[in-house]
Amino acid sequence: MEKTFSYRRQEVVDQRPRIEDFKNRWPALFEQREVNAEFMRVTTKPLRAKFLSQFDHFTPKLQQILQDKGGVKGQRIKHILEMAAADVDIDFRREVVLRGLVVYLNEDPDAFFKEYVSAEEAEGDIAATVMGIYSIRSQGHREPDDVGVVIEGVMVMHNISTVINAFIVLFGLIYALDLAYPDSMKYTFEFVQKILMNLDGHKLNVKIQQLKIKLFA
């Protein structure tokens, strides 16, 4: 994959192929290891290691900011954070904080992180999803049976271990495939790009700038 990077990159940027066609042409790219490698080729930064180290570094301060939020939005955030109050699973706690951040930035996590109880239930929604993450959880189970990434109505990856890992993979695919952030999550992805990953971090949206000031206060 490294040897064909320049050719693949030219195809992505110049031809803007459909996701389904590109996946058929370059199936090896749609593996977690290769997404990490492609992100490194594009940005020179390690995707998963950088994301998790920065996210964990900011989590205590981020939790404080989220918990201090008032009003209806604050109540919704508190309800989300309570989901992981007694949970020792680090990836689930990361997922909960991320969902709280989405609400804080006035975006809707339920429209992006879709949950289903069966694969049959998920099929119809996946075909109509522009970009998102789905998880299938049997009733009464916290651990997902499957977690996957959807782009342009195509399930591009599945059998990912956790929702937070799927989010990292999707962020990497956005760079690998030169995609725009979905309008419904543009602030959350900008936070990841510019605050966590420190990519083009000198130009910030006002909303992200205000959050950055609170994080570094």
pLDDT of residue 141: 65
Show the CA angle centred on residue 95, arms to residues 90 and 98, nearest 5°.
125
Computed over every residue of the chain, the mean pLDDT equals 92
Place of tokens 């920065």: 54
Q: Which of 198, 205, 211 is nearest to 47 (CA)?
A: 198
pLDDT of residue 3: 84
pLDDT of residue 1: 83
With 80 as the cut, is the pLDDT of residue 22 above it? yes
This prediction's pTM: 0.94
Enumerate the H helices of the chain as residue ranges: 5-10, 19-25, 32-43, 47-67, 71-82, 90-104, 109-112, 119-127, 163-176, 186-191, 206-216
Which pair of tokens denotes residue 111? 């429209």
- Strand pairing partners for 154? 151
Q: What is the mean pLDDT of residues 175-201?
A: 94
With 70 as the cut, is the pLDDT of residue 140 above it? no
With 80 as the cut, is the pLDDT of residue 71 above it? yes
**Radius of gyration for the chain, computed over Cα atoms and rounded to the nearest angstrom:** 17
With 80 as the cut, is the pLDDT of residue 87 above it? no
pLDDT of residue 118: 86
Place of tokens 């009464």: 140
With 70 as the cut, is the pLDDT of residue 91 above it? yes
With 70 as the cut, is the pLDDT of residue 45 above it? yes
Each domain of the chain, given as residue ranges in start order, spans: 5-110+168-216
Q: Report yes or no: 146 and 138 within 8 Å, Cβ to Cβ.
A: no
